[in-house]
A and B are shown apart, each in its own frame.
Chain A
Amino acid sequence: MKFFFQGKTVEAKPGDSIAAALFRGGRRIFSRSFKYHRPRGLLCVAGSCPNCMMNVDGVPNVRTCVTPAQEGVRVKAQNAFPSLETDFLSASQHFDRLMPVGWYYKTFTHPAMWHAVEPIIRKAAGLGEVLPTRRVEYEHQWMHTDAAVIGGGWAGIQATWAIAERGDLVVLVDDQPSLGGSSLYRKNANDLPADAIAKLENMPNVRILQRSSCFGMYEGNLLGILQRNPHSHAVERLVHLRAKRIVVATGSYETPILFPNNDLPGVMLSTGAWRLLDLHGIVPGKRAVVVGSGAVANEMASKLRESGVEVAALVAATEIISARGTAQVTGIQTSTRNFSCDLIVVCGPHVPNAGLVSQAGGKLNWSDAQGAFLPGDLPSNVSVVGGAAGEMPPNAIPPLSTDKRAFVCLCSDVSCKDLCDGVNEGFDVIETLKRYTTATMGPCQGRMCQLSAIGICAKETGRTLGETGVTTSRPPNPSVTLGALAGPGHHPTRFTPMHSSHQRMGAVWMDMGGWKRSRYYKRHQAASESESVLLEHKSVREAVGVIDVSTLGKLDVRGRDAGKLLDLVYTHRFSELRVNQVRYALMCDQGGVILDDGTISRLSETRYFVTTTSGNLDFVQQWLQWQLVGKDWDVHICNVTPGYGAMNLAGPRSRDVLAKLAACDLSSAAFPYMACRESTIGEVPVILLRIGFVGETGWEIHCPAESAEEVWQMLLDAGKEFGVEPFGVEAQRLLRLEKRHVIVGVDTDALTNPYEAGLGWAVQLDKPDFVGKSLLAHAAKNQPREKLVGFILKGAGLPKDGAAVVMNGQPAGRVTSSRFSPIQNGAIGLAFVPVSEAREGASIQVRVGGELSPATVTMKPFYDPEGLRLRQ
Chain B
Amino acid sequence: MSFLLPCPHCGQRSVYEFRFGGEVKDQPPLDAPESAWIDYRFYRTNTAGVQTEWWLHRFGCGQWMQAVRNTVSNEVLESFLPEEKGR
Contact = CB atoms under 8 A, between A and B. Distances in A.
A591 B15 CA distance: 28
B37 A630 contact: no
Contacts of A769: 30
A629 interface: yes
Contacts of A218: 2
Contacts of B27: 590
Interface string A575-596: 0000000000000011100000
Interface in A208-237: 218-220, 222
Given A219-B2, A220-B3, A630 B41 contact: no
Contacts of B28: 774
A220 B38 contact: no
A774 B21 contact: no
Given A590-B27, A775-B37, A220 B2 contact: yes
B56 A622 contact: yes
Contacts of A667: none
A629 B30 contact: no
Nearest to B62: A625
A629 B2 contact: no
A626 interface: yes
Interface string A489-520: 00000000000000000000000000000000
Contact of A629 (B15, B58, B62, B83): B83
Given A590-B41, A626-B54, A626-B64, A773 B30 contact: yes
A774 B3 contact: no
Given A591-B41, A626-B21, A630-B82, A222 B54 contact: no
B26 interface: no
Interface residues of A, number: 20
Interface in A608-629: 618, 622, 625-626, 629
A778 interface: yes
Interface residues of B, number: 28
B1 interface: yes
A220 B17 CA distance: 14
B76 to A, nearest CB: 10
Interface in B49-64: 54, 56, 58, 62-64
Contacts of A618: 58
Contacts of B40: 590
B9 interface: no
Interface in A750-795: 769, 773-775, 778
A591 B35 CA distance: 11
A242 B41 CA distance: 37
Contacts of B62: 625
Contacts of B54: 626
A626 B27 CA distance: 14
A638 to B, nearest CB: 11
Given A590-B40, A591-B38, A774 B30 contact: yes
A218 B2 CA distance: 7
A89 to B, nearest CB: 42
A593 to B, nearest CB: 8
A622 B20 CA distance: 12
A775 B64 contact: no
Nearest to B32: A774
Nearest to B16: A240
Interface in A127-152: 142
Nearest to A778: B34
Contact of B74 (A219, A591, A778): A219
B32 A219 contact: no
Nearest to B83: A630
A222 B15 CA distance: 12
B84 to A, nearest CB: 10
Interface in B29-87: 30-32, 34, 37-38, 40-42, 54, 56, 58, 62-64, 74, 82-83
Contacts of A591: 37-38, 41-42
Given A590-B41, A622-B19, A775 B34 contact: yes
24 contacts: A142-B14, A218-B2, A219-B1, A219-B74, A220-B2, A220-B14, A220-B74, A222-B2, A242-B4, A590-B37, A591-B38, A622-B19, A622-B56, A625-B62, A625-B64, A626-B54, A626-B56, A629-B82, A630-B83, A769-B30, A774-B28, A775-B34, A778-B34, A778-B37
Interface of A: 142, 218-220, 222, 242, 589-591, 618, 622, 625-626, 629-630, 769, 773-775, 778
Interface of B: 1-4, 14-15, 19, 21, 27-28, 30-32, 34, 37-38, 40-42, 54, 56, 58, 62-64, 74, 82-83
The 9 closest A-B pairs by CB, nearest first: A591-B41, A220-B3, A218-B2, A222-B2, A590-B41, A774-B37, A778-B34, A220-B4, A630-B83
Given A222-B2, A591-B41, 5 more contacts: A220-B4, A589-B41, A591-B38, A630-B83, A774-B30
